[in-house]
Amino acid sequence: MIIVSERAANRLAEIRQNDAIDDSAPLRIGVAGGGCSGLTYQLDFEKEELPAGSKDKEFESNGVRIIVDMRSFLYLAGTELDYTGGLEGKGFHFVNPNATRTCSCGESFAV
């Protein structure tokens, strides 16, 4: 499971409203190679419905529907998506229990 904090859910709702994104569009969370530590997080709203028989994992947390491909899920199981608006940096942050190393900005990780 992937957890979305209340702060992150509220910020995602603001983004949906500001960018006129349909409330039914799920949030796709993924992992790609790159960044200082080797893997980077990816966030985007899914534009199309999942095809029948899709092997993607689907969750809901704090009213946010989440879709994750199986490869990414191996790296993200148990992760919490949070949002911070403080002085130390504004944006989404991942709290990933699988990460053995992260870069200082929190944008990439290694397992």
Q: What is the pLDDT of residues 48-84, one digit of tens each?
A: 776 666 789 999 999 999 999 999 999 899 999 999 8
Report yes or no on whether pTM surpasses 0.95. no
Q: How many domains does the chain have?
A: 1
Range of the domain at 105: 3-110
Q: What is the CATH number of the domain that holds 38?
A: 2.60.300.12
Q: What is the 3-state secondary structure (H, E, C) of the chain?
A: CCEECHHHHHHHHHHHHHCCCCCCCCEEEEEEECCCCCEEEEEEECCCCCCCCCCCEEEEECCEEEEECHHHHHHHCCCEEEEEEECCEEEEEEECCCCCEECCCCCEEEC
